Amino acid sequence: MTKTNFHPPPCFVQKNDFTELFHLIICPQNTTLMTKKHRGRIQAQGNGVEKSVTWSQDEPLSREQGKTLLHQLKGQLSEKEHAERAEQFEQAERYIEGANGIPAPERRTFQNRKTRDVRVDIEVLAGRAFIAVALLVVLYFILN
């Protein structure tokens, strides 16, 4: 059995699909984020782009909050990067609008069929996401 001497620094982050999850697990200052019931991220990837927005909160993410995050992600992209993903952003928005509380774990990819590399991903890592605001109000009163 080979023993390794590699010890990552406290906030060592690997670049892959699980970058944020790895960062949350390895970095002790982020342990409060891991205790939140509802977590996930929306990403734009491919053709040299790797950008994302995340949520971590005690209550389920509403559809409106999900669409806001999607628009925040669009704002991180250049015009060219956004144009490459315009159809995928529209598909992701329709997915969020039609959702009725997606339970974790869930990963949905909206891929540009021309390039097969360019895509928008939605990941629900824990809890639920994209619930109607009326349902959120009912849950609030039931749980409190």
What residues pair up with 51 in beta bridges, in sequence order? 44
Of 36, 48, 37, 63, give the one whose Cα is nearest residue 122: 63
Q: Residue 81 pLDDT more than 80?
A: yes
Give per-residue pLDDT as tens, 82-138.
999 999 999 999 999 999 899 999 999 999 998 889 999 999 999 999 998 765 566
- 83-88 long-range Cβ contacts below 8 angstroms, 24+ apart: 84/46, 84/47, 84/112, 84/115, 84/118, 85/44, 85/112, 85/118, 85/119, 85/120, 87/112, 88/112, 88/118, 88/119, 88/120
Contact status, residue 85 vs residue 76, Cβ threshold 8 Å = no
Specify the length of the chain in residues. 144
Q: How many CB atoms lie within 10 A of CB 86?
A: 12
Give per-residue pLDDT as tens, 35-51.
789 999 999 999 999 99
Locate all alpha helices (DSSP H) within the chain, ordered by sequence: 19-26, 31-34, 63-75, 79-84, 86-98, 133-143
Structural domain boundaries of the chain? 40-143
Q: Is the model's pTM score more than 0.85? A: no
Higher per-residue pLDDT: 142 or 68? 68
Q: Is the peptide bond before 105 cis (omega within 30 degrees of 0)?
A: yes
* The pLDDT value given to residue 109: 96
